[in-house]
Chains A and B, each alone.
Chain A
Amino acid sequence: MDNELSALVTIFTEFYYWITVVLMFLIHVGFCMYEVGVSRYKNHQHTLMKNTMLIPLVTITWFFFGWWIYWAFINGPGLGTSIISGESGMNLVADGWGANELGNPTGPAMAINMGDHISGVFWAAFLLFSWTAASIVSGAVIERIRISAFGVLAIAIGSVFWTIDASWGWHFDGWMVKVLGYHDAYASGVIHAVCGGFALGVLVVLGPRIGKFVNGIPQNIGPRNPWLVTLGLFLIYTGFWGFYAACNIPIFDAGADSGAGVTYFTAANIYASPTTLSGVTMNFLMSLAGGLLAGYVVAKGDPFWTYSSGLAGIICASAGNDLYHPLQSMVIAMVGVVIMYKLHYWVERRFKIDDAVGAVAVHGYAGVVGLLICGFVLWGYPSSTYEGYAAITPWGMLAGAIIMFGVLGFLPGYVIALILNSAGQLRIPREVEIAGQDYLAMEAAKKDEDTVASAEQ
């Protein structure tokens, strides 16, 4: 950086993403509080540790291979042709944008580098998305999964499968954007649908908690601590702001980049297409409002589902929240919430699926509905500023939803859970589930208390 203006743009961008990472950390704090609030007393500590330990596991594997996958798989491989390199195979070396150039864990871009102020914070922003991905699955499986099994599943969704879908459909050079006209600005599909699908695949194999279904009838378990759940969801809302910010490029000359022959500085979405943070902020709040309004009605004022519906509303509108009118965001959020709520209870009754926190519904169903609605509302919009990309269509978005929820979500979740289950490594023993996962820890704490009390007398 040898002049003040370029230095200002670069360091502002570096700081911008740095702040988004800090904000997104609140998502994880919220998820921890939320899960502990929903779980029963005898499982609190293990529930907390399950969600906490995904942080280091996903972080190191994201460093080892997750970030590399994001840059390597943009062509499928074999499903599209990169506009950078002209290749249709793995995107390994591509004029500074290849996996080996940006994501090789032994390469110069993956460390403090005085010539690169962006790679690290961009890596970190995506890592926080990865934590969220794993954390979404975490809530669904509480109180009966082995922590060691969940560690494997967290890495699979957090550092492999969501990364592949992001490479395909959440990258300016991704094949789904070019070929299908896939548009998913704030990740209805690439985070939420894929994780909802993955969670459902795991739940099918894992089975319900003991006592969840009595004579085939679902019973309500918890939440034990609604205040912790409330705080957790408010923190997730707050962190979601950071997530929305992290999905943008704050200062970008879209005119020069697209070859339009004009200078057009703007904020841009993940596809390098113009948007405004100002308008996106309105849409975020209006979709939150729509979700809360609809959730309060369909759930008859139940706080747990009302808060979750606020989240589901944002998730449903997220695919097109870079372009929608705020009133469209509100209505789309309401539609998504009604569908996801009804679908949650229908699936629970019909298939005996015990989704402890409603993660499959809030993230999976709302995400899928959001993609489908986006296909109709943005029908005919260009998916990119670059030449030759397919326009947004309902069938392109339907194909995208199937890929996200089914191919990269449900299928891997189901298969990996099946393998872990066949090795006896997926679910805790029945005796432990009945006694509580924290039984030994609680017993030890009680002994300590008694010993200290005796000494005090």
Chain B
Amino acid sequence: MEPTVTSWVDVMVSGQGQVYPYVGTEIWWLILAIVIWLGWHVITGISETEEHEEVCNRAPGPNDHKNNITNW
């Protein structure tokens, strides 16, 4: 596939606007981005639930976290 820009002189003379690669494929990039976005919600929702279940199973007290304060 040929680059969108092969000569900056041509861009300036012709008044060409879009200079990014693969002009015309924007819709496919959009679909990919939306899939990534929705997938992110699903993945983080599941992992958050798993984290909560682990804490619930152990049910630490309100002051137990103080034993885990680091002194790095």
Q: Give the interface of A toward B (CB within 8 A).
A: 41-42, 57, 60-61, 64, 105-108, 111-116, 146-148, 151-152, 425, 428-429, 431-432, 434-436, 438-440, 442-443, 445-446, 449
Are B34's CB and A64's CB within 8 A?
yes
Are A114's CB and B17's CB within 8 A?
yes
The secondary structure that dominates the B interface is helix
Contacts of A113 in B (CB 8 A): 17-19
Closest to B43 in A: A148
Are A116's CB and B17's CB within 8 A?
yes
Report 26 cross-chain contacts, Cβ distance below 8 Å, ordered by A residue. Answer: A64-B34, A64-B37, A106-B30, A107-B26, A112-B18, A112-B20, A114-B15, A114-B17, A147-B48, A148-B45, A148-B48, A425-B45, A429-B55, A432-B55, A435-B62, A438-B65, A439-B64, A439-B65, A439-B68, A440-B54, A440-B55, A442-B68, A445-B68, A445-B70, A446-B68, A446-B70
**B36 shortest CB reach to chain A, Å:** 8
Are A449's CB and B72's CB within 8 A?
yes
**A26 shortest CB reach to chain B, Å:** 26
Q: Apart from A61-B37, A113-B19, A434-B61, what are 14 other A-B pairs with CB-CB below 8 Å?
A: A41-B65, A60-B33, A111-B18, A112-B18, A113-B17, A114-B19, A152-B41, A429-B56, A431-B59, A435-B55, A439-B65, A442-B68, A445-B68, A449-B72
Interface size bracket, B side: 35 or more
Are B17's CB and A431's CB within 8 A?
no
The residues in B between 13 and 27 inclusive whose CB is less than 8 angstroms from any CB of A are 15-20, 26-27
Contacts of A61 in B (CB 8 A): 37
Contacts of B30 in A (CB 8 A): 64, 105-106
**B39 shortest CB reach to chain A, Å:** 12
A108–B23 CA distance with the chains assembled, in angstroms: 9
Asked, given contacts A60-B33, A446-B70, whether A147 binds B44 with beta carbons under 8 Å apart, the answer is yes
Are A106's CB and B59's CB within 8 A?
no
Contacts of B11 in A (CB 8 A): 114
Contacts of A115 in B (CB 8 A): 15, 17
Are B69's CB and A432's CB within 8 A?
no
A429–B60 CA distance with the chains assembled, in angstroms: 12
Closest to A56 in B: B40
Are B37's CB and A431's CB within 8 A?
no
Are B27's CB and A435's CB within 8 A?
no
A152–B51 CA distance with the chains assembled, in angstroms: 19
A428–B52 CA distance with the chains assembled, in angstroms: 7
